Amino acid sequence: MLSKNQIKYYKSLQIKKFRQIHQSFTVEGAKSVTELLASDFEVELVAVTEEFRAAHSRLLEALDAQVVIATADDLAQMGSYQTNNACVAIAKTKENVFIDVAGKEFVIVLDDIRDPGNLGTIIRIADWYGFQKIVCSETTTDFYNPKVIAASMGSFTRTRIYYGNLVSYFEKAAPARVTGTFLNGTSLYDYNFPSSGGYLVLGNEANGISDEVAALVTDRVSIPRFGGAESLNAGIAAAVICDNIRRQWK
């Protein structure tokens, strides 16, 4: 059964400071946890109900981690961001390894995306469209935030992530065209994404791409507006652009 210390440790990881100290993060819910267990993340602890253990016995038996039985009430008290009556897990965060364009691919670059739900949604969208690399500014919300993990619906397990100063990043990264989203750019429907791939920059929900990063953008594009809405959610904008890239690459 779960101990009080295990519950306390799990809850402490809801806070970024303790995630950084322990280099660990939490995952909630049957879908996200099963995807975690099948991934290359190092898992520390899995707390499951008897029902979940019976349904996933082979997956759990192959796991090199502590597996403890918990009640649905225990899991509900531990979880913070979604209804959960099956399982929770603790896994180790990954090293912040530099990534850039390799071959004909697009790397998604996020400049100051603050909302955890938006980041999680963008990760899920990127996974749907087959973009596996995401570079984040230092001010972008933490990839391992429980809200980000929940919103990604397991896609975090298939995403390579890197955090750093974006100006310094582009100085080191492999040269390629940098496409950025702006209100006054070339219409998305008239723009031809480079067949050789490159970088796709998405900016802050309220302020867009920062001036420092904008100076490095080679191609400015805009999603045309036909109605009266003032702006698009960052996740929706990412979906529209990723879809257009794939339409051109079909």
* Single pTM value for the model: 0.94
Q: Which residue's structure tokens are 């996740």?
A: 235
Residue 172 falls inside a structural domain: yes
How confident is the model over 17-39, as pLDDT tens digits? 999 999 999 999 899 999 999 99
Residues 146 and 198 in one domain: yes
How large is the average pLDDT for residues 39-45?
96
- The sheet with strand 105-110 has its strands ordered as 160-163, 133-136, 105-110, 197-202, 178-187, 219-222
Q: Which domain holds residue 195?
A: 105-248
Residues 88 and 166 in one domain: no
pLDDT (0 to 100) of residue 194: 93
Task: Choose the weakest-confidence range: 52-61, 117-126, 165-174, 190-199.
Answer: 52-61
pLDDT (0 to 100) of residue 78: 80
pLDDT (0 to 100) of residue 83: 59
Q: How many domains does the chain have?
A: 2
Residues 49 and 114 in one domain: no
How large is the average pLDDT for residues 206-231?
94
pLDDT value at 82 more than 60: no
How large is the average pLDDT for residues 152-162?
97
How large is the average pLDDT for residues 143-168?
97
Share of the chain above pLDDT 70, in %: 97
Residue 97 falls inside a structural domain: no
**Residue 242 or residue 64, greater confidence:** 242
Residue 138 falls inside a structural domain: yes
Residues 68 and 113 in one domain: no
Residues 87 and 113 in one domain: no
Concatenating the DSSP letter of every residue in 92-161 gives: EPPP-------SSEEEEEESS---HHHHHHHHHHHHHTT--EEEE-TTSPPTT-HHHHHHHTTGGGG-EE
Residue 136 falls inside a structural domain: yes
Residue 98 falls inside a structural domain: no
Ramachandran sector of residue 23 (left: φ over 0; alpha: ψ -120 to 50; beta: rest): left
pLDDT (0 to 100) of residue 81: 53
How large is the average pLDDT for residues 69-88?
77
**Domain ends where: 24, 59, 92?**
92
Q: What is the CATH number of the domain that holds 232?
A: 3.40.1280.10
Residues 16 and 132 in one domain: no
**Domain ends where: 92, 114, 142?**
92
